[in-house]
Every structure is written in structure tokens, then in C-alpha cells.
Amino acid sequence: MPGKRSSRGSAKGRAARKSLSIGGWLAVLTTAAVIGTSLTAYAAYYDIYGNIDQQNIDTDAFGDRPSRVEGALNIMVIGSDVRTGENAKYGEAEGERPDSLIIAHISPNKGRATLVNLPRDLLVDLPACEPNGDKPGMSAQRAMINTPMSLGGIQCQWKAVEHITGIHIDHFVSVDFTGFKGIVNSVGGVRMCIPEPIDDDKAKLHLEAGEQVLEGEEALGYMRSRYAQGDGTDTDRIKRQQEFLGAMLNQVMGGKVLSSPSNLTSFLGSVTETMTTDDELTLDVMSDLAVAMREVDLGNINFVTAPNGQAPDDENRLALSEPKASQLFETIAKDESISGDDGGSGKDGGGEGGGSGGGDKKEKVAPSEISVEVLNGKGTPGLADQVGQWLTTEGFQVANTGNPLEIPAQTTIYYGPGKKAHAQALADEAVNATVAESPNLGDTVQLVLAQDWEGFTSNAGSSSSGPGGVDGTTAAEAKQKCG
């Protein structure tokens, strides 16, 4: 069984895309706007609210819908890639699609909020949509998650998100990216730590390393930049965008924006000038939500990405990783905490030699001495790439990632002659990994991931802020300072 591999999967093999990606920053508009509108005693806020373009969404046409949980609110946040008007200078694109797509789950009674990023490259099974205005509609099909908006408008996109996630959507907010620069400037720019110099002509971004305040075009370029930072994948860019959003939210909630009527007016004016919502997201709804949410701790505002990996039928696209994606969606749909019981203190045995305690003397092996091949198991498409990336950052020598020919029932680390200590050192980094000998292996140990994978014992790599190791962070962790 171990030692055999069928094919290599690489997140870096995805084709280059021309569309912009401003990512998670859009979700801040929902949170900041509803907090700001608690000061509705100022007549100016009613004028600002009048800037918002509103649409009627016929949710009755959806048929059966997911159940709604009283006291919670789910807002579909769309970053539109429309290229008309002022957006035309950022390139050409046919129609209009979500360049970023987020479910903002707001639970004021429980004092928390969760923003779930749905990567645009996800291949999903989409429901049929009727024609809508100048949109032709579409038949049920398997396509990218942002396809419905171009064929059936926001109403079709709304229906599709509910169908895919099982989460009841209450409202939507859509903003095009030309207003982003004004929004960032209205809060005085966003302070970020740039670990390495960035030289990205495509994003028109050239930054030195170090702590600095990003404004206007630089901020937009940072959110667009993909291939000049990290591993060049869209999922890696989403992480940076979530960090930017968290840093921005820290400034909005902890700075002078909310304490000064003039600053707040400027900020909300920038937000609403390019905003579209459904006509049921009224000023009263925003205000009521603001009153309930204004005391929420930044540590209870979570940013997560729907678990995903390389699509088995298209190496240039993503697929939801099951069962983790469904577990996350169900948690949100039920208005439960994504933290769960993930904060355990280590492993329970973990198979042969499992656990770090006990009196047995173990050979210490440094990560740099361990060569490991990381392989996907059933129901974990693309997870090997994510795990491999973390192991690399921790100093392990990742020889390869891909898919095994045969899959064990539980996550297993296989080792060849003389490499038991290497396998056990790797197992010590995992929450639940069994080690087993495989005589046909050489110097490289083999980590085969199964559906029971729970991540790493270190929070730096486990992405354990959500159920089953969901990738994400909190607003409190996004304070950007170098060193």
C-alpha cells in the first residue's frame, strides 16, 4: 500500500488569471457600516444611506430554502469585477461576476461574527436559474461558484450560495473595487508588515520590506498581487487579504473613525457610494444590528476560508474538501461557534509510539533531517498541498505532494528501514497520526492524509480556529507590526 503514488497535484500549476482579487476586505463594509449607523441621530447618516443602490430580490422564487436561525444574520458579500465606468482602467472583462464572495455570519446575541470566504475558483454543482431582466438564466450545471451572477444576476448568485452551503442568506452587499481606494484613504490607510520586498508589475505594486501604511493604489495593488507574493496561489492570497481586513478592522474599531462624527461620515460616505444591497437591508436593520454588535471583541470576529483543495477533474480549479466544508457550513447554519473543542492539549496515543509522554527514550530528529512525501486521502483533495506548505515553513524537507494508489482508513505516516524516529518526529507535530512500517520505502517517509486529519498540534499550522482544522484567523490577531 504505502510507497505508491498515482499523480502529483500542485497548487502552483493553476493557470494565470487576469481578473482582480480584492478578497476579504469587502466583509469589513458590513461590520463597519452597521456599527457606524448606530449613530443615526445625525441626519447626515440618512443622506449617506441614500447613496446605496438597492435591488429587490424575489427569494420566494427559490423554492425550498435553508432554515433561518432567530437572532443570527447571514449576509452575502460580493466584490464585483464589473469593468465599466471608472473600473474600466483595470482591464476588460465580459459581464459581471463576484471577484470575491463571502458569507458574513453575524451573531450579535452571542457576541461574535464569522466571515467565510468562498474562493472564486471553486467548482460546484449549481442550481438552475430563470431569466432575470437582461440575464438569460442558466440550467443546472457544474461550474465555478461565481458563474450564476453573470447569467442570472445577484438573485441567481444568492440562490446558488444557499444551495451549495445550506446556509440561509438574509441580505446581500455588493461593492465594486474602484471605491476601495477611497475607503482605505478615509481611515487613514492600513498599517501592514511587508516581510519581503514586493515587485509586481501586473498589480502595479512595488514595496520595500518593513512596516508601512498602505493607501489608495498601494492598498489595492497589495490585494490584487498574487504571483509576486507567497506561493502564487489564490488561496495564499486570500490569507493575506484576510490579514489586511483584520488590520483595517482594528483601525476602524480602535481608532478615531467611530469616535468622530466627521471621520465616520467620511468613512461611511466612501463605503456607500459604491454599495448595492437588497431593499430589505434598511437603515433600521443596520442600526439594530449595530447596537447589538458594537461591544463585540475583536477576538470573536473570525475570518475563515471554506476548506478546499485541487479539483480532481480540473487541476486549474478548486473543490470543496469534504467532510470539513459541510461541517463548517452546518456550524454556521446552526449559529454555533466554529471554535468547537479544538483547543486540546495534544494527542491520545496516535498509534505506534504515539504521544510525547512516557518513559521511553526516543531519538531526537530535527525537521531539516526529515524528508517527507505528503499524499491526499479520500475526501481530502488538495489538502496535501496545504499540509506540505506548512511543513516546509517549519523546516521539513517536502519531497513531493500528490495522491496515493491505496488509502488507509486513518491518517498514517509510513517509514522504511531505519526511519522510525523520523516518522515519529513528524507524528509528534500532528494531532492524530499513526505510524507504521513499510519495507518498500527508502529514506523518505510518507504522510497519507485521511478524513480523520485534525491538523497540527501547533496553532501556526493547524488552522484550528474552526471545526476540523478550518483555515482562518481573527481580527485580534491581525494587528500588523514587524518584529
Burial 134-150 (b: 16+ CB within 10 A, else e): ebeebeeeebbbbbbbb
321 and 365, same structural domain? no
pLDDT by residue (tens digit) across 465-480?
A: 344 456 667 766 665 5
At residue 345, the pLDDT reads 32
Least confident of 47-51, 174-178, 346-350: 346-350
**Torsion sign (Cα): 179, 15, 24, 312:** positive
CATH number of domain containing 430: 3.30.70.2390
Question: Out of 86-100, 126-140, 142-156, which region has the weakest mean confidence (pLDDT)?
Answer: 86-100
Do 298 and 432 lie in one domain? The reply is: no
pLDDT score of 22 more than 80:
no
Picking from 286, 301, 333, the residue at the C-terminal end of a domain is 333
> Domain end: 309, 333, 357, which one?
333
For residues 89 and 410, give the distance between their C-alpha atoms in angstroms, rounded to a whole number.
Answer: 51
Cβ-based neighbours of 84, under 8 Å, separated by 6 or more: none
- Considering the domain architecture, whether residues 325 and 373 belong to the same structural domain is answered as no
Contact, 435 vs 458, CB < 8 A? Answer: no
Structural domain includes residue 4: no
Asked if pLDDT for residue 398 goes beyond 80, the answer is yes
3-state class of 130 per DSSP?
A: coil
Residue 285: in which H helix or E strand, if any? helix 283-293
What pLDDT does 278 receive?
A: 93
Higher pLDDT, 217 or 183: 217
Assigned domain for 288 exists: yes
Domain extent, residue 54, equals 14-333
| pLDDT for position 17 | 27
- The larger pLDDT score, comparing residue 38 to residue 267, is at 267
pLDDT at position 110 over 90: no
460 lies in a domain? yes
Give me the phi and psi of 323, to 5 degrees please. Answer: -90, 5
- Of all helices (H) and strands (E), which one includes residue 210? strand 210-214
For 330-354, the pLDDT digits (tens) are 999 999 988 753 333 333 333 333 3
Tally of domains within the chain? 2
> Are 329 and 381 part of one and the same domain?
no
| Domain match, 316 and 240 both | yes
Position 479 in a domain:
no
133 assigned to some structural domain: yes
Whether residues 112 and 227 share a domain: the answer is yes
Average pLDDT over residues 23-40: 39
pLDDT of the residue at 35: 40
Give the confidence band of 417 by pLDDT, cuts at 50, 70, 90: very high
Least confident of 76-80, 89-93, 347-351, 391-395: 347-351
Is 176 contained in some domain?
yes
- Average confidence (pLDDT) over 395-420: 84
Please say if the pLDDT value at position 458 is more than 70: no
Q: Tell me whether residue 471 is in a domain.
A: no
Quick check: 250 pLDDT over 60? yes
Cα→Cα distances 293→35, 61, 106, 269, 285, Å: 7, 32, 8, 21, 12
Q: How far is CA 275 from CA 29, 177, 301, 399, in A?
A: 9, 10, 22, 47
**Is residue 293 predicted with pLDDT exceeding 70?**
no
User: Hey, which of 262-266, 286-290, 440-444 has the most confident mean pLDDT?
Assistant: 440-444
Q: Residue 213 — pLDDT band, cuts 50, 70, 90?
A: very high
Contact 450, 377 (CB under 8 A): yes
* 477 within a domain of the structure (yes/no): no
The verdict on 295 and 374 lying in the same domain is no
Residue 434: all three cell numbers together: 499513526
Mean of all residue pLDDT scores within the chain:
75
Q: Look at residues 303, 333, 363 and tell me which one is the last residue of a structural domain.
A: 333
Asked whether residue 316 falls in the same domain as residue 400, the answer is no
Rounded Cα distance, 155 and 30, in Å: 19
Higher pLDDT, 294 or 308: 308
pLDDT of residue 313: 82
- 96 and 140 housed in the same domain: yes
Backbone angles phi, psi at 144, to 5 degrees: -65, 150
Return the CATH number at 44: 3.40.630.190
The residue length of the chain stands at: 483
Distance (Å, whole) CA 285 – CA 289: 6
**What span, in angstroms and rounded, lies between the C-alpha atoms of 194 and 200?**
14
Whether residue 222 contacts residue 244, with contact meaning beta carbons closer than 8 Å, is answered with yes
pLDDT of residue 477: 66
Same domain, 288 and 360: no
Q: Decide: 381 and 317 in contact? Cβ < 8 Å.
A: no
Cβ-based neighbours of 85, under 8 Å, separated by 6 or more? 178
- What value, to the nearest 5°, has the Cα angle with vertex 387 and ends 463 and 227? 90
- The alpha carbon of 431 is separated from its chain's Cα centroid by a whole number of angstroms, namely 22
* 215 in the same domain as 105: yes
pLDDT band, very low/low/confident/very high, at 88 (cuts 50, 70, 90): very low
Same domain, 321 and 402: no
Spatial CB neighbours of 50, under 8 Å, sequence gap ≥ 6: none
Confidence (pTM): 0.65
**Contact assessment for residue 101 and residue 308, using Cβ atoms and an 8 Å cutoff:** no
Contact 464, 233 (CB under 8 A): no
Given a cut of 50, whether residue 321 has pLDDT beyond it is yes
